[in-house]
A and B are shown apart, each in its own frame.
Chain A
């Protein structure tokens, strides 16, 4: 049964541009980019138990680096994207060094402070980053201008990135990260330098976020300081929580639902904030653990393999396996 489902979904994803309208493909690309962004966030959140309010910083750095390289020095897109990831990693290393020494809400707010500093920097440097108007007219290579081409490209890149994230999370490093999230003291007792692990996770999250940003820049053809701000940083948080932080694919579901809802809501009414807020409210009150968490409780096993002891971290009730 699951094999057929897997096959159908794979076929659907690959065939999408052939059957759907360009705007649907366009939205799909946006969802893929946001999904990657949200997953990078979740590496820190569910992976290491660190809630960052400033993840937009690395997304924006990635977007701007790619944008600047492609417009100012006419660098080919792939090279620009690679350098964008390096830049994102470097910035994450510098900021992360300070952030991982804190925990709880202090960690969260320091990440926010750094994002706002970056925002001010980008907003005020007219010569370097174009100020509030940002960088415009970013042209992808000719074969990626059409939306179908960009869709397949993004699918490949995001697919590989997600595979990498999966490998990271299921590696010994990932398990150690989980351990540090569940109990710092015990993890330190077995000789692990928790801070180092967290910093590594922070940098990795930054790299993947900047990759998402680098995908976004040529797609949107324009970047602006807003991408670095705390408001943009709230997107992956909302998407992950909505989809369900305790699953690998939760952020993807959240990204899809949030983006689609956002688009439909704006087109439906100018009071779309009311609509979105109400839906979020209902979601929080009645779907703890997000959509996938809810589905998992109703239909155990639909979300995949066994659960582990993440109940405390995510507040979903029942179903905890005895450890």
Chain B
């Protein structure tokens, strides 16, 4: 290239910077919370539900006078489920918008990256209600990070504890997404089932890629192996595809099925059969309390769809933070961290406590059997076992061992 073009180029670049530079803001009266998670593309439904609940919660808080007399102001950013965008948006929220707290993210990879790249260095409290890799609280733990969602292992353990009780279930085939969430959760499920029932055999495992749309080869393969049970941690559109494609094969008459059963996934597949052992982090119908009913009705009235577990947990995280700030009497980070460690909160899912060792809340997982309900356009769970967090959470020794192993 003979042309250089640099004068025009650099002029434009500097003009842009001038336009971007905002005058340094004096400490604003509202309490600013950065809400950063995936809102577009693949799992947009999850992020959207979570953000919607937090928005509703913030409006409720503000209508009630705010926190410590100050209003809550939300800044919502889309991470596109990309690590670089997520870190950049979180940094922008912290450095430019000067948020006091961060909520996020949806994808474990992004929430982990925000924890290690932004929350730790800038000493901003980050609370995750969806992204649930165990690494956030174990080997990559940093003290400003808090988790109010059961981690991948806790979910697998809970499902396994109920599955193991089915004496007739002896041979299992698993199908899980080929990424950390899918592998860890299937692994936890298998480990727990085998521990509780040494007679159980795992006769095969499939790992479809994330985003897979066609499951027929997996379906035929598993049916050919003739297991008693198929365990799956597919979700959202993938689970919908799997179920729809499996139905004509008579799949659900031939094998028992254990599966994630959050409302968002169930909405995508109204044909979901009954009698499936489903597990979820906490749907609106899992708790019959007046608080849950009030939340559900308000959400449904405002947004015209039912709040899925991600919404429930997002709402929990906001109000838990409110209570913690009120108890600390300040939004100052270190003070709030001190309050949150060991903090017990009465959430929509019942009371949970945040463990000081790893900042993981001992939140429950719900396991039940799918059943159609005329009130809703999706299947729900009945005969729900609320597996308490204390039963499925890593023991303190396990956490210490894993951290020590990671240091080597």
Partner-B contacts on A (CB < 8 A): 2, 5-6, 9, 12-13, 16, 19-24, 26-28, 30-31, 46-47, 120, 123-124, 126, 131-134, 136-137, 145, 166, 169-170, 178, 216, 220-224, 226-227, 231, 243-244, 246-250, 252-253, 256-257, 260, 263-264, 266-267, 270, 272-273, 291-292, 295-296, 302-308, 310
Q: List 30 A-B contacts (CB under 8 A).
A: A2-B7, A5-B11, A16-B17, A23-B91, A26-B92, A126-B183, A131-B183, A133-B109, A136-B140, A166-B4, A222-B116, A224-B82, A246-B1, A247-B3, A248-B3, A249-B6, A249-B8, A250-B5, A252-B9, A253-B8, A253-B13, A266-B77, A266-B78, A266-B89, A270-B78, A303-B8, A304-B4, A304-B8, A305-B2, A306-B3
Partner-A contacts on B (CB < 8 A): 1-14, 16-17, 19-22, 24, 39-40, 75-78, 82-85, 87-89, 91-92, 95-96, 108-109, 112-113, 116-117, 121, 133, 135, 140, 178-180, 183, 209-210
Asked if A267 and B92 sit within 8 Å, CB to CB, the answer is yes
CA distance A288 to B75 in the complex (A): 36
Which residues of A sit under 8 angstroms from B10, Cβ to Cβ? 9, 13, 249, 252
A34 to chain B, nearest CB (A): 10
Which residues of A sit under 8 angstroms from B88, Cβ to Cβ? 26-27, 30, 263
Residue of B nearest to A272 (CB): B78
Which residues of A sit under 8 angstroms from B40, Cβ to Cβ? 270, 273
**CB-CB under 8 A for A304 and B113, given A24-B17, A132-B180:** no
Asked if A26 and B91 sit within 8 Å, CB to CB, the answer is yes
Residue of A nearest to B97 (CB): A267
Which residues of B sit under 8 angstroms from A20, Cβ to Cβ? 17, 21
Which residues of B sit under 8 angstroms from A253, Cβ to Cβ? 5, 8-9, 12-13
Identify whether the interface residues of A are mostly helix, strand, loop, or mixed.
helix
A261 to chain B, nearest CB (A): 9
Residue of A nearest to B40 (CB): A273
Asked if B179 and A131 sit within 8 Å, CB to CB, the answer is yes
Q: Which 7 A-B pairs have the closest CB atoms?
A: A247-B5, A249-B9, A221-B117, A303-B5, A222-B113, A224-B83, A304-B4
B137 to chain A, nearest CB (A): 14
A150 to chain B, nearest CB (A): 12
Which residues of B sit under 8 angstroms from A295, Cβ to Cβ? 8
A312 to chain B, nearest CB (A): 15
CA distance A221 to B110 in the complex (A): 12
Asked if A296 and B5 sit within 8 Å, CB to CB, the answer is yes
Which residues of A sit under 8 angstroms from B178, Cβ to Cβ? 123-124
Asked if A21 and B96 sit within 8 Å, CB to CB, the answer is yes
Could you say which of B12, B96, B112, B209 contacts A222, with CB atoms under 8 Å apart?
A: B112
Asked if B39 and A23 sit within 8 Å, CB to CB, the answer is no
Asked if B91 and A21 sit within 8 Å, CB to CB, the answer is no
CA distance A55 to B209 in the complex (A): 23
Asked if B24 and A21 sit within 8 Å, CB to CB, the answer is yes
Asked if B13 and A304 sit within 8 Å, CB to CB, the answer is no
CA distance A221 to B83 in the complex (A): 10
Most chain A Cβ neighbours within 10 Å, of B1, B2, B178: B1
B145 to chain A, nearest CB (A): 12
**CB-CB under 8 A for A304 and B20, given A9-B14, A136-B113:** no
Asked if B5 and A292 sit within 8 Å, CB to CB, the answer is yes
Residue of B nearest to A256 (CB): B13
Which residues of B sit under 8 angstroms from A260, Cβ to Cβ? 16, 19-20
Most chain B Cβ neighbours within 10 Å, of A134, A223, A244, A256: A256
Could you say which of A136, A266, A292 contacts B116, with CB atoms under 8 Å apart?
A: A136
Asked if B83 and A47 sit within 8 Å, CB to CB, the answer is no
Could you say which of B5, B6, B83 contacts A226, with CB atoms under 8 Å apart?
A: B83
Apart from the given pairs A27-B88, A126-B180, 4 other A-B contacts in the complex at a CB distance below 8 Å: A131-B183, A224-B109, A247-B1, A264-B20
